């Protein structure tokens, strides 16, 4: 049996399996019931590994071991496997979340914070710069900076960028506003995103911007994140931002932002 590499790659990604597991599972699906030896030959998996791999698949709920000799394996319907995997992933995620939540009130976090505070105090401010690869990492860092904002958050972005930020950063922006942080957002307002200005009313001042085509965020005139790619042309995975912690540069960008802001409506 020849299974396309593309299919094997998809199975590995969606079901979090290794290569031998997807090979033996797909082989068993094509047979319904089979022995480890037969599956090993069909899937081109070493016999010395087949039993261990099939045992792993059994524990994960992909197959059932049939009693008797020779030992045979029965394939579980894929739709049922999806439900089982989903349920298992949910349970694992909940366990990990509870474990992480418990750290917040433990001495471990205090110790980690002390290590970080000590380490940061030794770092030259000019070294506080980093590259943020991928939109997911970009927004995680923006969220982190906004959570620590004390005075101001200035955002200039694109039409789609405004939609993403209104959705992904709204909770942190709302909390920042309650702390007294002044939030300004300049972005192209269109029919597609106009409703978001109403959703952000009371949280941020939003103005239509069609003059300055760029993307950057400043926080407290100290931290600056600027995006180097055109978000209309780059895949989210390849989006790229640069974070710098420098009052000199950040305040200069704030000056440019405020000049533009004063000319917007």
CATH of the domain at 154: 3.30.870.10
pLDDT band at 100 (very low <50, low <70, confident <90, very high): confident
Instruction: Report phi then psi at 207, rounded to 5.
Output: -130, 150
Looking up tokens 């590499």, which residue turns up?
5
Quick one: pLDDT at residue 177?
A: 96
Tens of pLDDT along 138-189?
999 999 999 999 999 999 999 999 999 999 999 999 999 999 999 999 999 9
Q: Do 131 and 233 reside in the same domain of the chain?
A: yes
Determine, yes or no, domain membership for 136: yes
Determine, yes or no, domain membership for 226: yes
Quick one: pLDDT at residue 116?
A: 66
Residue at which a domain ends, from 50, 77, 104: 77
Q: Do 258 and 130 reside in the same domain of the chain?
A: yes
Q: In 3D, which of 234, 14, 22 has the Cα closest to residue 138?
A: 234
Determine, yes or no, domain membership for 119: no
Could you give the percent of the chain with pLDDT greater than 90? 58
pLDDT band at 107 (very low <50, low <70, confident <90, very high): confident
Domain that holds residue 160: 126-262
Q: Do 133 and 247 reside in the same domain of the chain?
A: yes
Quick one: pLDDT at residue 148?
A: 93
Residue at which a domain ends, from 58, 77, 96: 77
Determine, yes or no, domain membership for 90: no
Note if the pTM is more than 0.95: no
Q: Report the number of distinct structural domains present in the chain.
A: 2
Rounded (10°) CA dihedral 206, 212, 215, 219: -60
Quick one: pLDDT at residue 221?
A: 94
Bin 66: left if φ > 0, else alpha if -120 < ψ < 50, else beta. Answer: beta
Distance CA 241, CA 208 (A): 23
pLDDT tops 90 at residue 118: no
194/120: higher pLDDT: 194
Tens of pLDDT along 211-252?
888 999 999 999 999 999 999 899 999 999 999 988 888 999
Q: Are 154 and 252 in contact (CB under 8 A)?
A: no
Q: Do 132 and 56 reside in the same domain of the chain?
A: no
Q: Do 22 and 142 reside in the same domain of the chain?
A: no
pLDDT tops 80 at residue 124: no
CATH of the domain at 60: 1.10.10.10
Q: Do 159 and 71 reside in the same domain of the chain?
A: no
Residue at which a domain ends, from 77, 96, 118: 77
Tens of pLDDT along 42-99?
999 999 999 999 999 998 889 988 877 888 899 898 889 899 888 888 888 899 898 8
Distance CA 257, CA 265 (A): 14
How much is the average pLDDT of 128-135?
84
Determine, yes or no, domain membership for 109: no
Q: Do 258 and 175 reside in the same domain of the chain?
A: yes
Could you give the percent of the chain with pLDDT greater than 70? 95
Stretch (H or E) spanning 44: none
């Amino acid at each position: 049996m020849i299974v396309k590499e593309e299919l094997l790659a998809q199975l590995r990604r969606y079901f979090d399996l290794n290569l031998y597991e997807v090979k033996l599972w797909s082989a068993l699906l094509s047979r319904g019931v089979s022995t480890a030896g037969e599956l090993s030959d069909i899937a081109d998996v070493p016999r010395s590994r087949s039993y261990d791999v099939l045992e792993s698949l059994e524990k994960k709920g992909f197959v059932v071991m049939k009693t008797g000799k020779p030992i045979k394996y029965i394939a579980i319907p894929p739709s049922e496997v999806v439900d089982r995997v989903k349920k298992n992933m949910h349970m694992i995620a909940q366990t990990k979340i509870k474990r992480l939540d418990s750290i917040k009130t433990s001495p471990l976090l205090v110790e980690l914070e002390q290590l970080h505070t000590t380490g940061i105090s030794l770092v030259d401010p000019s070294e506080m710069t980093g590259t943020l690869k991928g939109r997911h990492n970009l927004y995680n860092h923006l969220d982190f900076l906004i959570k620590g904002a004390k005075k101001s958050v200035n955002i200039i972005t694109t039409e789609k960028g405004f939609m993403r930020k209104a959705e992904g950063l709204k909770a942190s922006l709302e909390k920042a506003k309650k702390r007294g942080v002044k939030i300004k957002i300049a972005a192209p307002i269109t029919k597609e995103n106009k409703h978001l200005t109403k959703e952000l009313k009371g949280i941020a001042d939003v103005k239509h911007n069609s003059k300055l085509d760029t993307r950057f965020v400043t926080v407290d005139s100290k931290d600056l994140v600027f995006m180097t790619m055109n978000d209309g042309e780059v895949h989210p995975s390849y989006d790229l931002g640069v974070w710098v912690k420098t009052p000199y540069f950040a305040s200069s960008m704030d000056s440019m932002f405020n000049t533009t802001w004063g000319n917007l409506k």
